[in-house]
Amino acid sequence: MPSDELPWTEHPQQGDESADLGLLAPSWAGSAVAGLTGDAGYLRALLDAEAALTRAQAALGLAPRSAAAAVTAAAAEPHRHDARTLALRARTAGNPVVPLVADLTAAVADRDPGVAAYVHRGATSQDILDTATMLVCARALDTVLPDLARTAAALRRTAAEHRDTPMAGRTLTQHAVPTTFGLKAAGWRSLVLDAHDRLASVRAALPVQLGGAAGTLAAFHAYAEAEDGRPPAPDLGSRLLARYAAETGLAAPALPWHTLRTPVADLAGALAFTAGALGKLAADVLTLSRTELGELTEGSGGGSSAMPHKTNPVRATLIAAAARQVPGLAAVLYGSLAAEDERPAGAWHAEWQPLRDALRLTGGAARDAAELTAHLRVHPHRMRQNLDATGGLVVTERLVAALTALTGRAEARRILDTAARRTAERDIELPAALDETLDEALPMAPCEDRPAPSDGPPAPRGVPALSPSRLRQLLDPTGYLGSAGALVDRALERPEHPAQELP
């Protein structure tokens, strides 16, 4: 079966109460990854792995061409295999490959009894299940990566459009100093591109698995010697691995990795990073779309069952939910690195469901992020209203710098601390509080009558500490954006990958 053929989509039988359609998982329900990682998707990948192995052996003369054709043809009929029955029968052997091999062998025998013995020959169950898992992961990532590219492209447009749109920068939930929405969007984009790079790197390295019973490939040597009457070349295993990789479209590993779980751990880390990167975007959207802020809204939010006025940020909510789950799943996958012997009991088995869940959650989050960023609505007027809400306190850092030249840094900080406190306690505007505080600290007087600051030059003779025009200039938050615009420009120099580009 060609490796680039579209995967079969799962259609659980109506009335199968064990089927998981995502009723409690709207974050991945209906996504492309959901179908690719379902039981039917895994079944398809298992059959593809078996067929590719027989083709690889045939290419090296270890099996007849007719066996490759028969196994490939039988594997192309996944509807002949019932996933539920296989799942129940898997309890006997501990994995679904054992019952599937029995059924596939019978299907091949129906076509050509003389080649049925070549099904699964030389392999162990973990070879097939690991290879199938890598195929499922590859197919899933091939849908996630374009979604991340689309998200990055949308954020590029947003960052460029709002390069100079001022808003309040917030630290520890409070107004800090002014920033721009363009810089925030450029930061989101940077994280998304980092996620894309990590997943693309992992995707390119996803390997086949082939080691036989204990990672030595000895069975393949034994079968070759039995048929040829002489020992095969020592590099038989390496050549077979390379050919198997070519048949599946996966990478050829340097070693069998039955208990060397670097591929799974690397994928776990990349998935957790991606979910977290998208989670940062979602967390900001959730905060900025609060009613009292109103700086952002989703293009088409969700409704409430009880409150008609609500338009909830549903996509950001689902992304945030995924971001909280994937790191825990990754921890399980990292834990499986500690696998004993040449093939483990439990560590390998513990990977299966967490990896599938991590793929689904990350794939759903990528889908939702692409939709969210494509239709995100930005409200600059609310950003400016909120920026002005503190009456100038958002630029006190700038005022400290301006006053330091007059009073020294320590006194400047004391003056601004006092003025800020008076603003809050007496509900007056910062300029009035600052004028009052400055009058107390810097009365009009000849220079020789005014004490010189300990860490700065004295104020000039007879000159007010800050003129009204200078104070107005200093209090304008749009004049205190630092290098925000230049940083946006620099960030947008980094290209994103075209959405249609796949590894």
By annotation, the residues acting in catalysis are 304, 343
What three-state secondary structure class fits 446? coil
Decide: 32 and 363 in contact? Cβ < 8 Å.
yes
- Report, in angstroms and rounded to the nearest whole number, the Rg of the chain calculated over CA atoms: 32
Decide: 442 and 459 in contact? Cβ < 8 Å.
yes
Give the separation between CA 500 and CA 145, rounded to whole angstroms: 9
What three-state secondary structure class fits 216? coil
Own/partner pairs, 114-119, CB within 8 angstroms, 24+ separation: 114/66, 115/63, 115/64, 115/66, 115/67, 115/70, 115/71, 116/70, 118/54, 118/57, 118/63, 118/64, 118/67, 118/71, 119/50, 119/54, 119/71
Decide: 202 and 266 in contact? Cβ < 8 Å.
yes
Greatest alpha-carbon pair distance for the chain in Å reads: 111
Give the separation between CA 413 and CA 400, rounded to whole angstroms: 6
Q: Of 256, 260, 250, whose CA–CA distance to 237 is shortest?
A: 256
How many residues are given for the chain? 503
Report helix angle 125-161 to 262-288, nearest 10: 30
Decide: 400 and 413 in contact? Cβ < 8 Å.
yes
Decide: 454 and 443 in contact? Cβ < 8 Å.
no
Evaluated on CA atoms 46, 50, 51, 55, the torsion sign reads positive
